[in-house]
A and B are shown apart, each in its own frame.
Chain A
Amino acid sequence: HLQLQESGPGLVKPSETLSLTCTVSGDSLSTRSYYWGWIRQPPGKGLEWIGTVYYNGDTYYNPSLGSRVTMSLDTSKNQFFLKLTSVTAADTSAYYCVRHAAMISGGFDCWGQGTLVTVSP
Chain B
Amino acid sequence: QSALTQPASVSGSPGQSITISCTGTSSDVGYFNLVSWYQQHPGKAPKVIIYEGTKRPSGVSSRFSGSKSGITASLTISGLQVDDEADYYCCSYAGSTTHVAFGGGTKVTVL
Contacts and interface: CB of A to CB of B under 8 A. Distances in A.
B38 A63 contact: no
Contact of A46 (B2, B37, B93, B97): B2
Contacts of A63: 97-98
A107 B89 contact: no
User: In this complex, which of A48, A49, A52, A114 has the most chain B Cβ atoms within 10 angstroms of its Cβ?
Assistant: A49
A109 B60 CA distance: 12
A63 B97 CA distance: 8
Interface residues of B, number: 26
A14 B7 CA distance: 34
B110 interface: no
Contacts of A112: 45
A47 B48 CA distance: 13
B45 A114 contact: yes
A113 B36 CA distance: 19
Interface stretch (B17-25, B69-77, B78-86, B100-108): B100-108
A48 B102 contact: yes
A104 interface: yes
Contact of A60 (B38, B57, B99, B105): B99
Contacts of B37: 107
B47 interface: yes
Given A46-B104, A47-B38, A106 B45 contact: no
A90 interface: no
Interface of B: 2, 32, 34, 36-38, 45-48, 50-52, 57, 89, 91-93, 97-100, 102-105
Given A49-B99, A63-B98, A106-B36, 14 more contacts: A46-B102, A46-B103, A47-B105, A49-B91, A52-B99, A104-B92, A105-B52, A107-B36, A107-B37, A107-B52, A108-B38, A108-B46, A108-B91, A114-B45
Interface of A: 46-49, 52, 60, 62-63, 96, 103-109, 111-114
